[in-house]
Amino acid sequence: MMLFGFHPWDIAEVYVGGERRYRRGDPAPYDGKACRDAARRIWDGMKRM
């Protein structure tokens, strides 16, 4: 997956609100419900085409 031209493993650390949320080597953060909801919206949009 590319995010603005960077691979997740190029990012050393990510801080949100002063709290470290990710450090290189950690599993990638994943919000399954958000991904499923986004996929459902895309799929529903394709049906209308």
The pLDDT tens digits of the residues spanning 4-35 come to 565 656 778 888 889 888 888 887 777 788 88
* This prediction's pTM: 0.41
Sole residue written with tokens 């995010």: 3
| Chain Cα centroid distance, residue 21 | 13
> What is the structure's pLDDT at 6?
59
Residue 23 phi/psi, 5° resolution? -130, 140
The total number of residues shown for the chain amounts to 49
- Is residue 9 within 8 A of residue 1, CB to CB? The reply is no
